[in-house]
Structures are given as C-alpha cells and as structure tokens.
Structure 1
Amino acid sequence: MRNSPWLVATYAFIILIGVLIALPNALPNSVLERIPSWLPHSRVSLGLDLRGGSHLVLEVDRTDLVNERLQNLLQDSRRVLRDNGIDPASVRRNGDTITIALRDPAQRGAAVTQLQTLGNPIGFGAGMGQSDLDIRTPNSNTITLGYTEAGITAHGSAAVEQSLEIIRQRVDQVGVAEPTIQRVGSDRVLVQLPGEQDPSRLRQLLGSTAKMSFHLLGNQGEPGVTMLSDEGGNQYPVLDRVELSGDRLTDARAAFDPQTNEPVVNFRFDTAGANRFAQITQQNVGRPFAIVLDNKVLSAPVIRTPITGGSGQISGGFNVEEANTLSALLRAGALPAKLTVIEERTVGADLGSDAIEMGIFTGFIGFLLVVGFMFFLYGTWGILANVALFINVILTFAGLTLIGATLTLPGIAGIVLGIGLAVDANVLINERIKEETRKGRSTFAAIDAGFKRAYSTIVDSNVTALIATVLLFWFGSGPVRGFAVTMGLGIAISMFTAVSIVRVVMVFVAGRYKLKKIDIKPLLPINLIPDGTQINFMKGRFIGLGVSLFLSVASIILFITPGLNYGVDFRGGIQMEVVTQNEADLAAFRSGLNELGLGEVALQEFGGHNRLLVRVERQPGGEEAQTAAVEHLKTEVVKIDPTAKVERTEVVGPKVSGELATAGILSVVLASLAMLIYIWARFEWPFAVGAIATLVLDVTKTIGFFALTGLDFNLTAIAALLTLVGYSVNDKVVVYDRMRENMRLYKKMPLRELIDRSINETLARSLYTSVTAFLAMLPMAIWGGSAVESFAIPMVFGIVVAASSSVFIAAPILLFLGDWRTRRAKAAAESAGQPAIEEGERPSQA
C-alpha cells in the first residue's frame, strides 16, 4: 500500500493555503502591516460580546406606514379631483380606505380614471405589475380606494430599503468604525455598532423618524390646530398645515450661540426651500413659528424680521451631544416610516476583553486536556491524532476568515466542542485498527480495514451532529449562529483532517519504518477498558430503564414547579450585569431598585460576590418607556454604589421574545424528527424508535437540570439542547453500527447476546469519545463565565447522560422491540403452518 504522490501534494497544498489564510489572526498589527501585500491580510472579525458595543433590531412600524400613506392618499385624492373639475360632496378617511361621495353620479367614471393615476405598479413579489391601489364603486355616487395587501407589502419593503440607506448615513455622520447594518426578514433592520455603549443615544439616532417641518402657531381649539409639546412639557397650538418641509434642508451643523454660548443647530435650505422660507417669514413678521421634529416642538421663536439668507438656527436647551445627534439626523434625512427598537443588547468594552481572555484560556485548557488524553490513550499514534487536531483548528480559522464570519463567545465554545468531537473519528479508527490487528491482520490490511469499517460510523455520527448544527443556524440568531458556524466547520473539516490526512501519514509511517504490525497501545501499560470485556449489560436493563424513567419524571415535575429560569430572550424585559469593586450589598441594591417603581426586580449574584444580575419586567408603554427604565436603573445603580459599572444591558420586546421561544421549540422538535428519519433510513425502524425514545429521556433530564440548578434558559440553552440532540444520537450510532455489522455476521445469534456483544466490542470507543468531548467542555463550564454557562454546564451534564443512555436505555429499548418482532414473526409462522422461530432467534428481516 502506497500513497499517491498527487494526493499527498494536494493535501499539503490545502494545509499550506489554510495556514496562510489563518495566520493573520495570530499576528499583531505591527507585523501584519509589514508582510507582503500579495499574502492574505484578512482576519476573523470579533462579535460585540468579545469587543463591546451595541446591537439593535429595528422594525418598520406597519401601522404608522399605512397611516402616513393613507393620509397622503387623502390629500392627493382631493387635489387630483379638484384639478380636474370634479367637486365631491366629501372626501374622508374611513379606517383603511378613503371614501369619496360624489355630488354628480355622472362624474364617477372620470373620477375613477383620475384616481387610478395615483396608483403605482408593484415592482416585485405578489401582484407584480399591478397597481398598489384597490379602487371600488359600491354605488353610483360613492368611490372607495385603499392599498392592496401586496401594495402595503411592497411599500413596507421599499421603506426598509430606504431606512437602510438613511441609517447608514446617520451612522457615518457619528463616525462609528466597522458598523454592521443589514436587512433581517421582510421588515427589520439589524444594526451592530462596535464600541458604542450608549443605548439611549443610539435609540435617538436610529429610531427617530427625524421628520422635520415648519408650522405657524394658531389658537387652541380652532379647527386645523393640534396641541404639541416640547421636551419640557410646554404645550403649543400648532397649525396642521406644513409651511415648509425638512426635505428642503441641505445641511445641518452643531455650533454654539455666540451670545449665550449654548449648543445650537444651524441649518441651510436648498434654493426652493430658501425662497419659501423667505416668503413665509416676510408674510408673518411678529407671529410665532414652530420648528417640529417627529411631533415634538424643538423651538417656537417669534419671527422678528424676514429671513432671506436661506438659513436658520434651532435652539432648544441642547447639550453638545444632543446638538450633534440632531444635526446628524437632519443631514441624513427623514426615515420613510417609524422604526421601533424591538431588541437591544449592549456589552461594555471591559466585559468584552474579559470574554476574549476567558474564551482563549478555557479553549486552550480544553485543547490541552484532549491532546493529553489522546497521547495517554495511544502513545505515539496519539501524537498523529493531535497533529490532525491542530490542523483542524487552523483550517477552521481559515474557513471562518474566508467566509467572513464573526467570532462570538458561543463561537469559541463551538470551536472548543468541535475539538472534542474532531478526535472522535481518530478514536473510532484507532480502536478499529487495534481490533483488526488482534484478528491477525497485517499492517496495511489492518489500516485499510480499520479506516473502511470505521468510516460509515464516522459519517453517520457526523451527519447527525451537522443536522443539529444546520437547524441551529437556521433558527438561531446573533452569537448562537456563530456557534453553529464554528462547530459545523470544525465537524466538516474533521472529516478531512482526522480521516484523510491521518490515513496518509499512517500509511507513510508504516511503509517508512517497515512495520510488521500496527501496535497502537497507551502511553502507560494501563488499559482503561480491558480488551475482550464480557459484561452482561442486558441483565440490568430493567434497573437502567427504571432509573432513567424516574429521573425523567422528576425532571418533568421540576419543569412544572419551580419551573425554568427563563432568560430575557424568552420572557422579554430588561437585564443588566453590574460589577462592583468590592462585594456587592445585595440588600441595598434590592431596596434601592425596588423603590424605582418598575415592577418586579429580580437580583442574583453570579460569577463572584461583586457581580450582580438585575432583571426587570418589560415596562408598560412604548420603547421610550424601556429607554427611561434603563436610564433610571443605571442612575440608581451608581447612586447605591458609586464604584458600580453596568457591563451589559439587554432589552427584548415581547414580540421578539415570543418569536425566539417559538423558534427554539421548533428547532428542537425538527432536529428530533430529522434524527428519526436519518436513523430509520440508515438502519431500521427499531433503531430509530430506540434512538428517539432515548433522546426524549436525555432532553427531559437536561431540562430538569436547568430547573434544578436555576441556570438561565435562553438562546444559549437552546443551542445546548440542539447540540445534545445531535451528540446523543451521535453516541448511539457508534453502538448501532456495530449491532448492524454483527447482525450480518451472526444471523442465528440471539438478539440479547448480540446486543451485549456489540456494546462490549464498542465500549472503549464509546467511552473515549465521550471523555474527549467532556474534557474539551469542562474548563469552559468551570471558568467560562455567565455568557456561556447556560451552554457549557448543561453540555457537560448532557455528555454524561448521553454516554450512559446509549448502554442502559437505547440498547434495552432495541431489545424489547426486537423481542416483540420475534414474537410477531413466531405467531405469523404458526398461523401459516410454517416452522416456528425458536425462542431467542431473530426473524430474518432483522
């Protein structure tokens, strides 16, 4: 057996390219700047949880959009009818339609023709090419018109696209580096701003519609007058008629008033706007003139003299930051519709740097534990597996760099878990080669048989893990998607590093040193699992199932009462992480925060006596109420303890929390169904039923673990459950694959004996693959911190549960199903007058 030179060269080339692509991630900026320009310079970008910053999801207010479109349609309808000599009795809005009553029914046809000109063809999607208006004539003198559903959808989509551009301009105005601004779904915009940690300023900058208009003041109570207030609560009778729109502004800059030295905003109009502004001020000297922004009066000065220079000034008691924000809003222009902040997360820079250090530290320790364990298990051959593991990590970073992925703290957890899962293939291969060597096979025959017979198990186990990963990416969001990407890449790349590369090197070593047999043995003369074990596992099947059912029932009871500690992702509201220099006075914080009148305030220590987690229920009212609550909390926290710092803030609305909860449940259910279908297709239905029944018991125990420990049940917890779904089935596949092989080899062997034999033959590889995953995750579970504890700690627990359930639950269920099939086959044979199947035999279709 020899390696193809072309194959070796191809593998070496892939590794070299991977190293060159991944290398910039390990180089400091000073070194990276000096390397040749033709070499890769790109790096994996860090998520906000690793470098600090703010994350907001804004949604187009559909109601506001429809209201504005209908208001414009009302005015346009009056104008077009008047311009064409049609005098209606009335034109009024009635819900979501405009109703026009005609004086002369003979004018109905002409009126409909003119009104049709107000419609616009839909440019895409349902109804493409059709008008966005629905015009009807319920009787001879009445016309109704409104927007079609397809029209509203098209206008909403256009509003999102316009909003994207305006938000980009606003962000550019304030100079945030490397912002992420992208469309999410049909009506949402995601904004991530590294380093920006003032959520109230962000809400004002991004959520403000910034529709500026100039109005004359009237008299309270008169028709066409609306009472509007300023920031101080003062009321002004503002005429509804817009004298001049903010669309005519060409520039707006923050400055200081030379007389008062207070911050102001100077603005300038285009030519048409300057002429109109001059005309208004000339005709209304001595009258108050209101400058209105989003239905708030900024200022209402009295016109002293005509203003003909095309510029003006807004003074409203601003501070410098407010003046800068307002000028940025005016320069960028108004949003086409109101945007509502439905999700907000802010991470402090200190917490981000701590997360990087902790992620690197726990990942490195996990890597060393796995490397040490493989070296202990397989000695010199373990070094080969460790080299393949190191290449796997390099190629994973290369892949992340190539696809432009963002590395998050859960993403680091995905790499760490991927390390534990990547060596599973090496464990399966090494144990299989050892088995083939004991059968007396020659060196190359043992290598060939070991790789071939382990390959199907490796594929099956990796596919089940990848199914869970794909669903996690599909239904997840934010950092959780980062976990799915890194773990998925690691698993896919391990098929190359742990199988292809290891095989080439193993063949090379065996040929180079002319080995007569492959002697894979542990570093020390200690076998954790002796060869040839003959444990009668099925003898204790009732005990195993009984204990498992008891624990699952207990977990269900814990789920009901006291229940899960739902995180802000699923119940909505406000969550803050507070850090103090000394031990936090929990009683003082609880007393002070409860006095704010924000409803139920929950406090708990986590990760140390100087760290507090503060949870507050969602406040009644709109987004302004949430912003105000956050500011009150921050002020009170510092008032209680001047050394306190708010390191993380999360605000999640009820709509988002409901969507996240639904997506989480759906993803777990779909993952379980996908596993059922895959196992059924690859094996037989009894195997699939056994795997899914075991999976349900494993998941219920893990949920019980969440309830018992009080860990946050959030998006990260869903990631843990989905990963455990894949891992649990992954673990079963190792045993199932051997059972399937033995069923072909020992057709007359009683099923109970065959199951015990298969478990004993795969006991070492089942245990070792679980240990590698356990060791990889253990440091992160101990030291990973609050950001990953809802993932790492349940994963460690779940790995232990999945390993034991493969032997004590899945196998007994398979035995019961097999015996049931045997009894059915025996009864069918007897009724047909055929020779009965002897007790203990298996029906031929098994």
Structure 2
Amino acid sequence: MSAQMKKALAVFTIIIIVLGWAITIWGAGPIPSIKDKIKLGLDIEGGVYVVMEAKTNATGDNLKKLMEQTQAVIEQRVNQMGLSEPIVTIEGQKRIRIELPGAEDADEAIKQIGKTAQLQFFLADGTKVLDGGMVKDAGIESDKQNGGYAVSLKFDKDGTEAFAQATQKALSGSVQSTIKGVDSRAIAIVLDNKIISAPVVNSVIQNGQAIITGGTGGFPQEEATNLSALIRGGSLPVALQEVNTSTQSATIGYNAFEMSVIAGIIAIGLIIFIMLAFYGIMGLAANIALLLYVILVLWSMGLMGTVLTLPGIGGFILSVGMAVDANVIIFTRIREEIAAGKSVRVAVHSGFRRALNTIIDSHCTTIIASIVLYQLGTGPVRGFAITLLLGIIASLFTATVVTQLFLTLSSESKHWSAKKYYGMNEDNTPKHYIKKQFYFIKYRKVYYIIAACVIITGLIVGGIRGYNYGIDFTGGTMMQINMEKQVNLNNVDKSLQAVGIKASELVYAGKDNSEIIIKTMSSLDNADRNKVIAQFNKDFGITEKNVLTVEQFGPSVGKDLRTNAVKAVIISCIAMLIYINFRFEWRFGVAAIAGVLHDVLTVIALYGIFHVTINNPFIAGILTVLGYSMNDTIVIFDRIRENLGIMKKNKLEELIDYSINETLGRSIMTSSTVLVVMIPLFILASNSIREFMLPLFVGVVVGTMSSIFMCSPIYYELCNLSGNAKNKGKKYKK
C-alpha cells in the first residue's frame, strides 16, 4: 500500500471515529443515539422477570416441541400486556425465562404467565364448537395452490365430530356474524380471548383434518410456524411452576447504570493517560484504536439486539482493560526490534509480524472461556459473556489493523520516527529498563509451598466452617424494601416471624439506612411474599410500591448453578488443553491447565478463608479468571517456544528465566491496567458490579502470579521428567 493511500485511510479512520462518537452520543437524523438503540436490562430499566419450570415427564424431541409450544403461547400472552419489548426465551430444557421491562406487579405477571392456555373454536355468532383439548396436532406444509405455507390441523375423535358439525353449520347460511371482522362462514380460533385466526370454511370437513391457508401467496413461513405453535400449545398445555423471580426498581437500576457509566469513562480516561505516559507515540496510536474499539463494541451490541445489564457493563469495561494487552505485546516487540539494531520503520513492521501469533493464541483462550460462559450461563452472566466476547474480537481487529496503520505512518515520518518517541535511546537501549534479572526456576519450590499452604488452609477452613453460598446457589429469596426511615431490625424480624418466615440475613441499605435487605434460605412463593408485604403494611405502613427489588431462586435453580459452574470449568479446561496442544505441545498444555486449576483453587480457598459470598457472578468471575490467566500464560509460553529455537546452547532453566524476564514488563503493565480499570467500577458501581469485580480482582492477581511462578516451573518439571531438561530446539514444535 502506497504512503498516500495509508494517509488517506488514516484520515478516513479519524473521520469515522469523530462521526461515530457524535452519532453514538447525539444520534443523526433517522439514526438514534446509542442510549436509544441498546436495550437496557431489567436491572437498569426496571421491571419483572420470571423463570417458570414445566412440570412434565416429557423428554427428547417431545419435550423440545412442548417447550416451543409453551413459549409461543406465553409470547402471545405477554404481548397483550402492553409492555415494552418483552423477552421470552427457553432456558435449559424445562425452563422458560420471561423478562417484562416496565412491569411493576410481579404477582399479576406470574398469574398472567402461569395460567393454562385457553384455546377455543367459535362460529361467527359466538357459539363455541370445540376447545383446544380436541386438537390432536398442528403443523405447517407447503401451500401448492396459493404458494407459501399453510397450517394443517388434526382433531381427535370428539374433535372430528364437533368440527364436522361446525363446518356444516357454517356453510348452511344460518349463522349471523356477531364478531366484528369475522365472516359468517368462518370458524374463529381464539386463544386467551383473542382471535389468532378466522379462516372461512369452504367445504364440510368430516375426516378430522383441516388446512388453513393464507390466501393468495399463502402464509410466510414464520407466520405459519407461529400460528401452528399457538394452536398446538392450546391443545397440549403444560403446568408451569415459578422457580426464579426478580422485581427491579428502575430508580435503583438507573442510578447504578449512571454510576457504572461514570466509572467506565474514568477507566477509559485512565487507560488513555497510561498509554500516553508509558508508550509515547505508540500509546497515541493505541488510544486512537481504543476510541474506535469502544464504538465498534457498543454498536455491535445495538445491532445484535444485545440486552445491556449492569454485569454486562462490567464485562465491557474489563474487555477494554484486556484489549490493552494486544497493544502492549506489539509495543514490547517493536522495542525489542529497535534494541536489536533495526530502524524504527523496519522494527514496526517486524514487531507486528512477530507479535501476531502471540496475540491470536492469547486471545483465543479467553474467547473459549467466554463461549463456555455464554452457553452455560443464564441472564446477567450471559450478558457479561457476550460483551466480553465482543470486546475481545474488537480488540483483535483494532490492535492489529488500526494501531498498525498509525504506527506505520509515524515510523515512515521524518519527524515522528525518532527513537525517543518509542521509548528508546539513540544507542538502541530502552529509556526505562529493569536491569536486574530474576531467577524464577531456582526458587520455584518456595512458591509451591506458599501456594499449597494457601489452598490447603482455605479448603480446610471452608470445609469446616462451610462456604458462604448465596441464595442463588442454595435457593432462597432476597427482598430489598424502602422503609422510608431507619427501623429496628429486631422489629422487622418479629414481623417476619409473625407470618412464619425465618430470615437468614437482615441488613441495612440505602441512604441513612432507610432500606432493608431481607434474605431467606427458603424460597418464598408469590403468596408468601404477599404475606410479608401485608404484615409490613400493618406494622410499618409500607406498600407494594416500597418493594425495590425481589430475587427468588428455587432449589432446582441453585443446584443447576452449581452443576453448570463445575461443567464450565471442566469444559473450558478441556477446550483450552486441546487448543494449546495443537498450537504448542503437550507439556505446555498440561502446565497451563495446572496453572488454571491452581488459580481456581486459590480463589475458592480465599473465599473460604474470608467467608465471601459465593453466588451467580462468582461463576462469571471464575471463568474470566480462567481466560485471563491462560492469556498471560500463553504470552510467556510463546516466548519460551520462540527461544527454544534460538537459544539452543542454553540450559532450559536459564532459557525459561530469560523468557519470563523478557515478558515481565508486559505482564506487569497488562495486569496493572486491568486492575486500574476495575478500581473505578469497584468504588463507584453497584453491588451487582462489585460481585462480578471481586473474583476478577483476586483472579487477575493470582493469574498473573501463577503464569510466572507456577506454569513455567511446572513446564520445567515436565521436561525434567521426560528427559528434555537440556534445550534441544529440534524436539519442540515451532
């Protein structure tokens, strides 16, 4: 690419960034601003979500079909509630998650959602002729006469007879239509008192099989599928039981949202400052890429219809911190190339080329963790995973394309190609360089002992005292209520006991302790929660409107969370091991997985020692720790792999120490940046964000240490055991 084309592309990129930020903040004509484009989760916008579990023994395809029918019926029902963009999704095998933004009454929502569907067939004069229980099946087929698709119906024995009589009467001309918009010869199909179809009868149907056509052109496939599902749902109802409920006050959510946004702006500002301070002209190029990166992630979420939750904001900000890693790897390589005597222009080109494999390998492991987290997570955890995943993919693009473009231009400039702008002296030595070499392999057993003491102590303490599992793991209910003044917690406890409810925890919250948080280890159903509100109304004068948040987790939900957490760790480890074995060799893979297990056990041990609550966000935190720790380990392993082919005369112990020292600055910088990003979130954001940040905060520290003090030494031990302690480059994959 010519210099003129590069300059034109750089100018175009700057214009895109400026216009992109302007549209993101203010919008432009028909294009809304990002705040109007992105869907806000219930923890921000307020509303109700309910997870209902189907009480059925169906399995396999029958269960899948039944759940799809139930989903279609519920979608039809909640769309009639007049709420903004309700979301109905199948979660797992037997559960349906219903999110109702703007809803305030959980009790009414559950009643509406959980009632059995009422499907009925009426003549045009309002005479009921049969009900959904007489429909044997409904499906779609090609409409050969009109094109498109048609809906097929099959009735049972009683339904066949009733439908034959109905079609005969409809054709007789004796029916006078009393239903607006329905032809006198039609039979209206009504679900929950709403007409979903009113096909006109063309002939008497006596064989129990009918076809509903869409007229000229037929039904579109989606419309025919939806109609058949609604009809099947009416004939195959399934009982639903509430297993998880949340009512979120919009005020609390939006305040938390505002503070999270402020924390995010501060975090990005800190990154921009750090990059400029430590990397000069390279940091400026990285900051330009970062500004584009933020736009790409936000608009990807908007266009994909991703729901932004408070944990999702945490995932986004964390991905910003991790995105810095790709740039730091590149900048480290460029400085090494300059130190080797190359010109700045050549160093930039070769630095990018040498860094590319490392960036791809390190980011792919985090992508694996994000995908597993998305597949096994629910609700907010999925929001966290998708924003993290989008962020990692965007960082790969911006670092390898945008940063490279601007650094290439600066390296070809007469003024900006001076070595001082790249953190180097004219004699090719770094301006800031740690001359001391650290001997990690020599003292590896010291860290083995420290790590073993921490893990064993934590597991023993947690095992004896018991881990502090949150209600989303054990099952239970959490209610946050605005009492409008500080009340005595003993009086609150007495009110709960009056209705037969034992609180496992009662704490103050909010300004001047005017709010209380009630947690119970037993799962309170709708009736129990209503009893609490009635008793509180009697004792404290508060009403349903004072209830800010309700979270309810049935025992089966908690069991699934624990199961999915174990599955997530195992699947992530297997997937990463396969990837590392493919890209490196088995010793690297085993050492990396050993480091991951060390990180997980250390975090669990620290939670046991300090009795920190283990809850749903803990799963997201653990999996992100897996990805981040592996990211750091891969960067070091990549350098060891490279040096195996170069430093053939060195002992393996010396080679590993040298490789770790080479990447030490990068490890410290990346970890520090991620921690700096977390600090504003931890201080300013809501408890929901803090619950995500805590295991990440601990995990980043532990993961960085393990990649240096645990994974590389274990690799050395494996080489010793297999007789490869002497460095023979030809025996290792390159």
TM-score normalized by structure 1?
A: 0.68
Structure 2 residue matching 1:550: 3-state secondary structure = helix
Q: Which residue of 2 aligns with 1:272?
A: 127
Query: After superposition, where does 1:19-418 map in structure 2 within 5 Å?
Result: 25-27=24-26, 32=27, 35-36=29-30, 43-62=37-56, 154=62, 159-184=66-91, 187-209=94-116, 247=120, 270-273=125-128, 330-331=193-194, 336-418=237-319
| Shift in CA distance, 328/158, structure 1 to aligned 2, threshold 3 Å | closer
1:637 Cα deviation after fit: 4.4
Q: Which residue of 1 aligns with 2:346?
A: 445
Distance 2:374 2:398 in 1: 24
Instruction: Determine if the alignment matches structure 1 residue 487 to structure 2 residue 487.
Output: no
Q: Which residue of 1 aligns with 2:731?
A: 845
Distance 2:422 2:514 in 1: 49
Distance 2:494 2:404 in 1: 65
Structure 1 residue matching 2:442: 3-state secondary structure = helix
Q: CA contact under 8 A between 2:34 and 2:299: conserved in structure 1? A: no
Q: Which residue of 2 aligns with 1:537?
A: 440
Q: Which residue of 2 aligns with 1:696?
A: 597
Q: Which residue of 1 aligns with 2:146?
A: none
Q: Which residue of 2 aligns with 1:628?
A: 527
CA offsets 1:790-837 (integer angstroms, 9 cap, x no match): 210121111111112222222222222223233xx6xxxxxxxxxxxx
Q: Which residue of 2 aligns with 1:792?
A: 693
Amino acid at match of 1:488: L
The gaps in structure 2 that reach 5 residues or longer are 131-175, 179-189, 197-232
Amino acid at match of 2:731: Q
CA offsets 1:260-304 (integer angstroms, 9 cap, x no match): xxxxxxxxx9542499xxxxxxxxxxxxxxxxxxxxxxxxxxxxx
Q: CA contact under 8 A between 2:536 and 2:542: conserved in structure 1? A: no
Q: CA contact under 8 A between 1:22 and 1:43: conserved in structure 2? A: no
Q: CA contact under 8 A between 1:549 and 1:697: conserved in structure 2? A: no
Instruction: Determine if the alignment matches structure 1 residue 767 to structure 2 residue 674.
Output: no
Distance 1:573 1:380 in 2: 54
1:614 aligned residue (518, 529, 546):
518
Structure 1 residue matching 2:624: 3-state secondary structure = helix
| Shift in CA distance, 812/161, structure 1 to aligned 2, threshold 3 Å | closer
Distance 1:528 1:666 in 2: 48
Amino acid at match of 2:533: K
Distance 1:194 1:778 in 2: 30
Identical-residue share of aligned pairs (%): 33
Q: Which residue of 1 aligns with 2:494?
A: 591
Q: Which residue of 2 aligns with 1:601?
A: 504
Q: Which residue of 2 aligns with 1:836?
A: none
1:472 Cα deviation after fit: 0.6
Amino acid at match of 1:808: F
1:436 Cα deviation after fit: 1.4
1:749 Cα deviation after fit: 0.3
1:540 Cα deviation after fit: 2.2
1:407 Cα deviation after fit: 0.9
Q: CA contact under 8 A between 1:466 and 1:726: conserved in structure 2? A: yes
Q: Which residue of 2 aligns with 1:235?
A: none
Amino acid at match of 2:531: H
1:678 Cα deviation after fit: 1.9
Q: Which residue of 1 aligns with 2:136?
A: none
1:764 Cα deviation after fit: 0.5
Distance 2:16 2:556 in 1: 45
The alignment yields a C-alpha RMSD, in angstroms, of 3.5
Q: CA contact under 8 A between 1:770 and 1:799: conserved in structure 2? A: yes
Q: Which residue of 2 aligns with 1:813?
A: 714
1:578 Cα deviation after fit: 3.1
Distance 1:3 1:711 in 2: 57
| Shift in CA distance, 740/52, structure 1 to aligned 2, threshold 3 Å | same
| Shift in CA distance, 576/373, structure 1 to aligned 2, threshold 3 Å | same
Distance 1:459 1:53 in 2: 41
Structure 2 residue matching 1:603: 3-state secondary structure = strand
Alignment length (residue pairs): 632
Distance 2:438 2:65 in 1: 68
Instruction: Determine if the alignment matches structure 1 residue 655 to structure 2 residue 556.
Output: yes
1:339 Cα deviation after fit: 2.5
CA offsets 1:762-788 (integer angstroms, 9 cap, x no match): 111111011111111122223322212
| Shift in CA distance, 15/394, structure 1 to aligned 2, threshold 3 Å | farther
Q: Which residue of 2 aligns with 1:743?
A: 644
Instruction: Determine if the alignment matches structure 1 residue 801 to structure 2 residue 702.
Output: yes
Structure 2 residue matching 1:62: 3-state secondary structure = coil
Distance 2:431 2:540 in 1: 54
Higher Rg of the two aligned structures: 1
| Shift in CA distance, 248/741, structure 1 to aligned 2, threshold 3 Å | closer
Q: Which residue of 1 aligns with 2:320?
A: 419
Structure 1 residue matching 2:648: 3-state secondary structure = coil
1:716 Cα deviation after fit: 1.2
1:447 Cα deviation after fit: 0.5
1:45 Cα deviation after fit: 0.8
The gaps in structure 1 that reach 5 residues or longer are 67-148, 212-245, 251-268, 276-308, 312-326, 620-624, 826-838
Distance 2:476 2:417 in 1: 68
| Shift in CA distance, 379/351, structure 1 to aligned 2, threshold 3 Å | same
Q: Which residue of 1 aligns with 2:363?
A: 462
1:408 Cα deviation after fit: 0.9
| Shift in CA distance, 42/585, structure 1 to aligned 2, threshold 3 Å | closer
1:580 Cα deviation after fit: 4.3
1:23 Cα deviation after fit: 5.8
Q: Which residue of 2 aligns with 1:713?
A: 614
1:683 Cα deviation after fit: 1.9
| Shift in CA distance, 554/447, structure 1 to aligned 2, threshold 3 Å | same
Q: CA contact under 8 A between 1:58 and 1:190: conserved in structure 2? A: yes
| Shift in CA distance, 25/628, structure 1 to aligned 2, threshold 3 Å | farther
Q: CA contact under 8 A between 1:578 and 1:646: conserved in structure 2? A: yes
Q: CA contact under 8 A between 2:458 and 2:606: conserved in structure 1? A: yes
Distance 1:720 1:793 in 2: 8
Structure 1 residue matching 2:433: 3-state secondary structure = coil
Distance 1:40 1:52 in 2: 19
1:584 Cα deviation after fit: 5.1
Distance 1:162 1:741 in 2: 56
1:20 Cα deviation after fit: 6.5
| Shift in CA distance, 428/647, structure 1 to aligned 2, threshold 3 Å | same
| Shift in CA distance, 762/350, structure 1 to aligned 2, threshold 3 Å | same
Distance 2:17 2:729 in 1: 52
Distance 2:537 2:687 in 1: 22
CA offsets 1:122-172 (integer angstroms, 9 cap, x no match): xxxxxxxxxxxxxxxxxxxxxxxxxxx78xx54x55554444444334334
Q: Which residue of 1 aligns with 2:375?
A: 474
Q: Which moved more, 1:414-423 or 1:678-687?
A: 678-687
Structure 1 residue matching 2:552: 3-state secondary structure = strand
Q: Which residue of 2 aligns with 1:555?
A: 458
